[in-house]
């Protein structure tokens, strides 16, 4: 047996358990050993039975005097009852609906029990405690009681108790033979636990402090790998060549003067950074980050115009067909006086002849699509694309020599500083941190259940005055232990809201529905109708069409607001307020929790997406901000991204190593880990 041994070959892991383990992403011994607890229960203090107190959770050891099963006729429940004694006294122990325990626990057995003390008719008893037999000659020690006990991420039919039972013997067998992946110097200089010790202490810690130290070691390692990955990408890119595009100042002045609005200082600064970057003979790798409605597209169009007029091609890739069409229309309008051929390429639209600026979806990287001299690639909402797609676009540049297109990514998702430093470390950052002049502040209100009818009356008034309304439904939260939220659940939420609003609340208004499971044609028709004011209220899922622009929409209503992150709520809010009217955002919530109120109040007091992203990171963590599943980033690393000092530390350590050994020849294990990470990751 070794670390690559599949779970199918392990004792006690039959077909049912194999299926459950796979749900948690566990396929082999290594995966099991690196399936870390997410919390601990401290049962390390063993007390005497005479010291037991009501309502306290305690851990005792003693001998079973008697054990039996009885039935309660009222609730039709089987009770397993035992009497356990130590030198100071005896206590009754009760388990509910676990009749098999009578075959496990026998009279005379020495046991360790950990659970809550409750009062019954006959006095105090231990209610459904964790149990464990004490074997005087066992060298494995206590596992489920009498110590700090690990609680793991679980799935249906797979308990932490079972995971402890499987993991502990494997840990005893392998932990000392797993090769250390971090260089010794880095372990010493950062005061980290060595791998063998960290593995034991994260699963079965001797103290909570050692559990913390073990977590720190693995957090450091995961962030360190991310830093290495990011820095090596940057190094690779620095060796590549790109076409230097000279800055055509008269052309850009003409374009800026043709605009019906004034550029903000942030737009001018960002455009200058981008245009200066593409003058260089190495590929630009820049992320343009700005709040919803801050005018990122105009800045990207300036770069596209400069490149196209220099005789080269530009490709803009958007995540959905509706968004691609919207970009195509906006860019065509902005550049109508500049004599350029702009083409749209989606699964339905095909390009014709030579195109200066191609706008499209993933269709841009299809087999038959070829470019003649692609010098600039613009990605919208870039973290929704994988590395492979970007590489494919770059390979299609059409140059005979190896020249890589300049890359500009755009995102409206504000990225906190720690994320920018670590995950986006290979990208240069341009920030548009101000909104266009003259925008009216969106009035945001939290609507508790008792104010719902009043809010509905206000919405009806807005519609009667010719305005339109967005309604966003939360995705249904997953069942406990469910790994993935199905898009069916989102559809269900939207359909229920649509039925409620169209039949009960606003039967006299025109209501439309939009969700991700509709065909593209259906979605396009709904959006067209909404734009043409044939729909008053559009009920939509949270995931559909982030960049949709409806200037006549003046009200955003968000159901179950507590289920979204602050950044997401801020993005929804940015869908309105794009026209000349006063706009509103109503946050509907039934949650009385203090934390919910605190989070939603942060949204009321702040209009700045960057500020909110930092608050969101503090309150909820980056996994919720971006969805760690889709990023392929381990949970521990995701959680550690809150820690700016740790991020800086790992970055510096990665720089140090790469400066001395760019190819990591002296560190084969580290190099292998990095390769594994590259296969797994979908960073963009």
pLDDT in tens, 147-162: 999 999 888 899 999 9
Q: State the Cα–Cα distance between residues 513 and 244, nearest whole angstrom.
A: 47
Contact 623, 638 (CB under 8 A): yes
Integer CA distances (angstroms), 138 to 148, 175, 207, in order: 19, 19, 22
Taking residue 108's Cβ as centre, other Cβ atoms within 10 Å add up to 8
Give the pairing of strands 313-317 and 89-96.
unpaired
Tokens in use for 164?
A: 């402890």
Write down the architecture of domain 249-432 according to CATH.
Answer: 3-Layer(aba) Sandwich (3.40)
CA–CA separation, 95 and 101 (whole Å): 9
Out of 40-54, 186-200, 332-346, 620-634, which region has the weakest mean confidence (pLDDT)? 620-634
Q: pLDDT-derived band of residue 419, with 50, 70 and 90 as boundaries?
A: low
**pLDDT score, position 483:** 40
Closest Cα partner for 419 from 385, 389, 379, 383? 383
Q: Tell me the range of 191-195, 218-222, 483-487 where mean pLDDT is highest.
A: 191-195
360 beta partners: 317, 345
Tokens of 326: 């919207």
The C-alpha atoms of residue 263 and residue 573 are separated, in whole angstroms, by: 22
What pLDDT is attached to residue 665?
93
Tens of pLDDT, residue by residue over 273-299, are: 999 999 999 989 888 888 777 889 999
pTM beyond 0.75, yes or no: no
Nearest residue to 623 (alpha-carbon basis) of 642, 602, 650, 604: 642
CB 425 within 8 A of CB 234: yes
Query: Using CA of residue 513, residue 515, residue 518, residue 519, what is the dihedral sign?
Result: positive
Q: What is the pLDDT of residue 20?
A: 94
Contact 512, 526 (CB under 8 A): yes
**Residue 479 pLDDT > 70:** no
Mean pLDDT, the chain, whole residue set: 84
Q: Pick the residue with more confidence: 187 or 121? A: 187
Which residue ranges make up each domain of the chain?
Answer: 1-38+152-205, 42-148, 219-239+637-680, 249-432, 443-606
From CA 92, how far away is CA 124, in angstroms rounded? Answer: 7
Decide if pLDDT at 484 tops 50. Answer: no
Question: Residue 532: how many CA atoms within 13 Å on its side-chain side?
Answer: 7
Contact 300, 410 (CB under 8 A): yes
Task: Name the 3-class secondary structure at 187.
Answer: helix
- 465 Cβ partners below 8 Å, 6+ apart? none
**Which pLDDT score is estimated for 427?**
74
- How many whole angstroms separate alpha carbon 4 and alpha carbon 31? 9
Residue-level pLDDT at 626:
44
Question: Does 567 have pLDDT greater than 60?
Answer: yes
Phi-psi region of 280 (alpha: psi -120 to 50; beta: other; left: phi over 0): beta
Return the H-helix or E-strand segment holding 609. helix 609-619
Q: Are 564 and 476 spatial neighbours (Cβ–Cβ below 8 Å)?
A: no
- Does residue 141 contact residue 200 with C-beta atoms inside 8 Å? no
Instruction: Give the span between the Cα atoms of 379 and 390, in whole angstroms.
Output: 9
**412 Cβ contact list (under 8 Å, min separation 6):** 290, 291, 292, 294, 296, 381, 546, 547, 571, 574, 609
**pLDDT value of position 684:** 38
Q: 456: which 2 tokens?
A: 């509905």
CA of residue 230 relative to chain centroid, distance: 19
**Which two three-digit tokens encode residue 648?**
């800086």
Q: Strand pairing of 511-514 and 468-473?
A: unpaired
The pLDDT assigned to 478 comes to 37
Q: Fold match between 249-432 and 443-606?
A: yes
pLDDT reading at 170 higher than 50: yes
Beta strands at 313-317 and 110-120: parallel, antiparallel or unpaired:
unpaired
For the stretch 181-210, pLDDT in tens is: 999 999 999 999 999 999 999 999 999 999
CATH domain 443-606 topology = Rossmann fold (3.40.50)
Q: Do residues 47 and 181 make contact, with C-beta atoms less than 8 angstroms apart? A: no
Other residues' Cβ atoms within 10 Å of the Cβ of residue 478: 12
CATH number of 42-148: 2.40.50.140
Q: CA distances (Å), 262 to each of 109, 235, 271, 432, 437, in order?
A: 83, 38, 14, 14, 8
Q: Between vectors from CA 588 to CA 585 and to CA 593, what angle results, nearest 5°? A: 125
What is the per-residue pLDDT for 349? 61
């Amino acid at each position: 047996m070794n670390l690559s041994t599949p779970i199918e070959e392990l004792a006690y892991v039959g077909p049912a358990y194999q299926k459950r383990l796979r749900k948690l992403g566990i396929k082999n011994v290594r995966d099991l050993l690196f399936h870390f607890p997410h919390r601990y229960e401290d049962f390390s203090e063993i007390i005497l039975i005479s010291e037991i107190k009501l309502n306290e959770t305690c851990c005792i050891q003693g001998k079973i005097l008697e054990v039996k099963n009885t039935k309660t006729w009222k609730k039709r429940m089987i009770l397993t009852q035992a009497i356990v004694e130590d030198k100071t006294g005896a206590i009754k122990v009760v388990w509910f609906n676990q009749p098999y325990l009578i075959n496990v626990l026998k009279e005379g057995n020495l046991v360790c029990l950990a659970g809550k003390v409750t009062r019954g008719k006959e006095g105090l008893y231990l209610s459904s405690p964790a149990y464990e037999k004490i074997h005087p000659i066992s060298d494995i020690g206590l596992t489920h009681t009498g110590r700090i006990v690990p609680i793991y991420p679980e799935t249906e039919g797979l308990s932490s108790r079972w995971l402890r039972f499987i993991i502990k013997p494997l840990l005893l067998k392998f932990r000392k033979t797993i090769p250390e992946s971090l260089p010794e110097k880095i372990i010493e200089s950062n005061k980290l636990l060595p791998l063998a010790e960290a593995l034991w202490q994260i699963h079965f810690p001797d103290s909570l402090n050692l559990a913390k130290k073990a977590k720190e070691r693995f957090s450091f390692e995961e962030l360190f790998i991310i830093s290495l990955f990011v820095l090596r990408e940057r190094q690779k890119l620095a060796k590549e060549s790109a076409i230097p595009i000279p800055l055509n100042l008269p052309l850009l002045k003409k374009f800026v003067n043709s605009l019906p609005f004034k550029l903000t200082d942030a737009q001018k600064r960002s455009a200058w950074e981008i245009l200066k970057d593409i003058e260089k003979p190495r590929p630009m790798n820049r992320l343009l980050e700005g709040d919803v409605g801050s005018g990122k597209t105009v800045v990207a169009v300036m770069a596209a115009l400069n490149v196209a007029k220099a005789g080269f091609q530009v490709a803009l890739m958007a995540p959905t067909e509706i968004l691609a069409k919207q970009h195509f229309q906006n860019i065509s309008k902005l550049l109508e006086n500049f004599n350029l051929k702009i083409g749209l390429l989606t699964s339905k639209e095909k390009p014709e002849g030579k195109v200066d600026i191609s706008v499209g979806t993933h269709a841009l990287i299809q087999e038959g699509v070829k470019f003649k001299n692609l010098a600039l690639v613009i990605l919208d909402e870039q973290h929704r694309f994988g590395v492979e797609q970007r590489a494919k676009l770059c390979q299609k540049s059409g140059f005979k020599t190896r020249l890589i297109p300049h890359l500009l990514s755009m995102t409206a998702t504000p990225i906190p500083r720690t994320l920018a430093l670590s995950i986006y470390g290979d990208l240069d950052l341009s920030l548009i941190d101000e909104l266009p002049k003259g925008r009216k502040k969106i009035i945001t209100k939290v609507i508790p259940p008792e104010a719902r009818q009043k809010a509905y009356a206000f919405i009806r008034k807005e519609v009667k005055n010719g305005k339109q309304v967005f309604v966003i439904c939360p995705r249904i939260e997953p069942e406990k232990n469910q790994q993935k939220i199905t898009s069916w659940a989102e559809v269900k939420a939207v359909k229920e809201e649509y039925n409620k609003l169209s039949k009960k609340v606003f039967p006299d208004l025109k209501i439309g529905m939009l969700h991700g499971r509709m065909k593209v044609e259906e979605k396009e028709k709904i959006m067209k109708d909404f734009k043409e004011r044939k729909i008053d209220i559009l009920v939509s899922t949270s995931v559909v069409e982030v960049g949709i622009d409806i200037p006549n929409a003046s009200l955003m209503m968000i159901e179950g607001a507590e289920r979204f992150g602050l950044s997401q709520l801020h993005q929804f809010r940015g869908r309105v307020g794009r026209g000349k009217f006063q706009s509103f955002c109503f946050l509907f919530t039934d949650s009385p929790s203090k934390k919910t109120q605190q989070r939603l109040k942060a949204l009321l007091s702040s209009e700045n997406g960057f500020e909110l992203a930092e608050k969101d990171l503090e309150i909820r963590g980056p996994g919720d901000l971006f969805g760690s599943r889709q990023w392929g980033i381990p949970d521990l690393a995701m959680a550690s991204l809150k820690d700016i000092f740790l991020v800086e530390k790992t970055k510096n350590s990665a720089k140090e190593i790469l400066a001395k050994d760019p190819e990591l020849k002296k560190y084969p294990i580290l190099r292998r880990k990095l390769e594994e990470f590259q296969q797994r990751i979908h960073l963009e």
